[in-house]
Amino acid sequence: MNWRNPFLSAYLGVTVVGAGILGYLVYSSYSHYAEVSSNYDTQVAELQRLQNRTPFPSDENNQAFAALTSQYQAEYQKLLAQVSKMQKPVDSVTPQAFQDRLRAYVSEVTAAAKENGVVLGEGFYLGFDQYRDTLPSNEAAGVLDRELGAIRSVVDKLITFRVKQISGIKRETLPEEGGRATASATPAPPTGPGRRPPGAAAAVEAPKVVNANSFEVVFIADQGRLRQVLNAIVTADQFFIIRNLNIENSKLEGPKRVADAADSQPPSADGSPAAPASTMRLLVGRETLTTALRIEMITFNTPPATK
């Protein structure tokens, strides 16, 4: 007897094939669903990130950002223009031209001081004594000429306000003369854990944003004229900073107490008590002040302003 049923065999075969096709379709659909779901989650996360961003990058915010950027650039260019007016450029000057200008300035300052009753210290030469008979190097002539103009402007103010005496000027040696830079916007990084050890390759040094040339002026003046000089320096058309200020009073001791003037007056001829004299005395205000003023001439290494 043959138990094989052709219909049942065919039905089972079709069922197996159908199940395979259905499984494939289910797997493909699930894979596509997983891909779509992952993409949706990514888009939702990006949307939430943008919505929480400050500012949100909408058209309105983009326009506001563009307007603020334009305003910032305008203010920055305005600041550059103002700074440029307050610092003198380094002109191309020969060593001989610098020395000639130095001698002319000393002669003019000496004559102006004499005319205004200002006493100059012995051998006064605007702080450039080493160049009285020696020429500077070609590299240093230009920066020395700029510093000479700055010192001359301060001395002119002292003479204009008629200080009693300009005792002397001492200036620091410029880097172009072989000195060290007095100011820098990039100080050396500290050493410590996690820092570059000594002897390791040095990083490229960033350009200095600010340089300062320092000089000291010593003069004698009364209190009122000292105030005028200080105000004139800090409001000058050149960028000066008063870094140190040392003042010494001509009277180091305070006023002494005295006996009442009425007791010290002798009696009159008829024996009656003498009329008391005025007891008002000026205790302060007549002293002179010896002032040592260290000034820094600031130079900003900024790009030129663009129109």
Using one digit for the tens of pLDDT, what is the confidence trace for 150-199? 999 999 999 999 999 999 999 988 888 876 655 444 444 444 444 555 55
Residue 258 in tokens: 């005295």
Using one digit for the tens of pLDDT, what is the confidence trace for 204-250? 555 677 778 889 999 999 988 999 999 999 888 888 889 999 998 87
**CA dihedral for 83, 85, 90, 92, sign (positive or negative):** positive
Look at residue 122 and tell me whether its pLDDT is greater than 80: yes
The residue among 235 and 306 whose pLDDT is bigger is: 235
> If we measure between CA atoms, which residue out of 127, 225, 216 comes closest to residue 177?
127
Average pLDDT, the chain: 78
Asked whether the beta carbons of 297 and 154 are under 8 A apart, the reply is no
**Cα 214–176–299 angle (5° rounding)?**
45
What is the per-residue pLDDT for 4? 60
Segment 131-147 mean pLDDT: 91
Residue linked to tokens 């009656």? 272
What is the per-residue pLDDT for 237? 83
What is the per-residue pLDDT for 276? 54
What is the per-residue pLDDT for 261? 47
Percentage of residues in the chain having pLDDT higher than 70: 66
Residue 81 in tokens: 């223009």
For the chain, strand residue ranges (E) read: 119-120, 165-171, 210-222, 240-249, 288-300
CA–CA distance, 48 with 90 (Å, rounded to integer) = 56
Segment 78-93 mean pLDDT: 80
Residue linked to tokens 């008391």? 276
Look at residue 22 and tell me whether its pLDDT is greater than 80: no
> If we measure between CA atoms, which residue out of 199, 217, 234, 232 comes closest to residue 290?
217
Look at residue 148 and tell me whether its pLDDT is greater than 70: yes
DSSP string, 81-100: HHHHHTS-------HHHHHH
Helix (H, G, I), strand (E, B) or coil at 228: helix
Residue 69 in tokens: 């950027």
> If we measure between CA atoms, which residue out of 242, 241, 238 comes closest to residue 146?
238
Residue 275 in tokens: 């009329």
CA–CA distance, 143 with 247 (Å, rounded to integer) = 30
Helix (H, G, I), strand (E, B) or coil at 294: strand
Helix (H, G, I), strand (E, B) or coil at 292: strand
